[in-house]
């Protein structure tokens, strides 16, 4: 048996593939375009593992998808492939529409065609699991209840709008064609192999290289953080036991303001890699212009997946963030490798030249 994973060279996808093959014998076909955020170095430990079959390709390429599905005959498809960074979606939304909406459509159509040719028992057992985000629900006021599955979709950024559109396509392919789908909407992830354009890895790598730690606006925006391996375990649980056609919100009840996150990272670095002059990394915190349309608060109500499927995160924020900071300290070669020309172009565009020198 085999599964097909898309976007399995990115942050969450590579953690998922690594954990899957560490625990299970079932092989993984990994289809990834290797955009700036896809990185085969994340999967270096699998280089000689015949259970990992890597295919470089685009989820929008229906000929390739037909070929891969026909050749490998997966029992499930897990769709991680996406453009994932809100700031990039603000400065260049088109690729988000192409990959997250049109790409998801192409994938759904290719999978539907493959699935409809399966024998009835295999059709029933088949799953298409779509990995999505809590950002589709929009923003919460300070005292509002966390996002539950029945909340209305109110996406505010080009990224979240494109993910919302893909969620709707997945839903429609179930209702219209009977494709056995599952959708997961998770809160912000952090952990190993996180590309340093997102808040947590950006703060770690900037702190270590003596650069400013750019906090948008007043830094009091709230995100709900989940260690990436807990997200991967939740996806596996939904794949195994989720009810077809249902959506599951995934989160660990860990709401934190951005400034709290940045200060926590600085304190951990002060402990684990103290500066020679004994000053704190917190001195590098710099408030910068806010993100346009910045959502103020995200928070997940995870009761459905907890009660129905018995999933619980293994890490608290305190244990997860310590592991993450330590991982970045231990993997300086990986960090150097991802800070290549295209990374420098992005950082210079978004934050100014002083961030790359």
- Residues designated as active site: 134-135, 159
Closest distance to ligand TYD from the beta carbon of 133 (Å): 7
Task: Report the residue from 202, 205, 233, 285 that binds ligand TYD according to the rule CB under 6 A.
Answer: 202
Q: Write the burial class of residue 60 (CB in 10 Å: 0-12 exposed, 13-18 middle, 19+ buried).
A: middle
Strand 247-250 relative to strand 285-288, pairing: unpaired
Q: Which residues bind ligand NAD (CB under 6 A)?
A: 6-7, 9-13, 32-35, 37-38, 58-60, 80-84, 99, 103, 131-133, 163, 186, 188-189, 195
Region binding ligand TYD by CB under 6 A among candidate stretches 10-18, 173-181, 211-219, 311-319: 211-219
Region binding ligand TYD by CB under 6 A among candidate stretches 4-12, 35-43, 210-218, 339-347: 210-218
Nearer to ligand TYD, 128 or 195 (CB): 195
> Torsion angle of alpha carbons 145, 149, 153, 156, nearest 10°?
60
Which is it for the CA torsion 148, 150, 156, 162, positive or negative?
positive
Nearer to ligand TYD, 36 or 53 (CB): 36
Please say whether the beta carbons of 127 and 74 come within 8 A: no
Nearer to ligand TYD, 10 or 242 (CB): 10
Site residues (CB under 6 A) for ligand TYD, limited to 182-201: 188, 198-199
Query: 90-122: b or e for each residue (b if 16 or more CB lie within 10 Å)?
Result: beebeebbbbbbbbbbbbbbbbbebbeeeeeee
Distance CA 30, CA 23 (A): 17
- Picked from ligand NAD, ligand TYD, none, the partner binding residue 201 (CB below 5 to 8 A depending on kind) is none
Give the residues lining the site for ligand TYD (CB under 6 A): 86, 188, 198-199, 202, 214-216, 221, 223, 258, 291
């Amino acid at each position: 048996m085999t599964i097909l994973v898309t976007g399995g060279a990115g942050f969450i996808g590579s953690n998922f593939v690594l954990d899957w093959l560490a625990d299970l014998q079932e092989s993984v076909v990994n289809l990834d375009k290797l955009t700036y955020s896809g990185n085969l170095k994340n999967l270096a430990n699998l280089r000689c593992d015949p259970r990992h079959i890597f295919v470089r390709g685009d989820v929008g390429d229906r000929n390739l998808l037909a070929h891969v599905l026909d050749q490998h005959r997966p029992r499930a498809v897990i769709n991680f492939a996406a453009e994932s960074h809100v700031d990039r979606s603000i400065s260049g939304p088109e690729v988000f529409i192409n990959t997250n909406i049109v790409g998801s459509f192409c994938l759904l159509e290719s999978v539907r065609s493959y699935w409809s040719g399966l024998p009835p028992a295999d059709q029933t057992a088949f799953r298409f699991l779509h990995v999505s985000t809590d950002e589709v629900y929009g923003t919460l006021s300070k005292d509002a209840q966390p996002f539950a599955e029945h909340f209305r979709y109110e996406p505010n950024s080009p990224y979240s709008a494109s993910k919302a559109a893909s969620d709707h396509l997945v839903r429609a392919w179930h209702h219209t064609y009977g494709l056995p789908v599952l959708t997961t909407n998770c809160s912000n992830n952090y952990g190993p192999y996180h590309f340093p354009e997102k808040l947590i890895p950006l703060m770690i790598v900037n702190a270590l290289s003596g650069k400013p730690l750019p906090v948008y606006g007043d830094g009091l925006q709230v995100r709900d953080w989940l260690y990436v391996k807990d997200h991967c375990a939740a996806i596996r649980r939904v794949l195994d036991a989720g009810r077809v056609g249902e959506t599951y919100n995934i989160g660990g009840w860990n709401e934190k303001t951005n400034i709290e996150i940045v200060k926590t990272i600085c304190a951990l670095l002060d402990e684990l890699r103290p500066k020679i002059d004994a000053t704190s990394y917190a001195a590098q915190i710099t408030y910068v212009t806010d993100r346009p349309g910045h959502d103020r608060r995200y928070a997940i109500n995870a009761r459905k997946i907890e009660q129905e499927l018995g999933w619980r995160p293994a890490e608290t924020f305190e244990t997860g963030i310590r592991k993450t900071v330590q991982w970045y300290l231990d993997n300086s070669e990986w960090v150097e490798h991802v800070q290549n020309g295209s990374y420098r172009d992005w950082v210079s565009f978004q934050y100014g030249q002083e961030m790359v020198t």
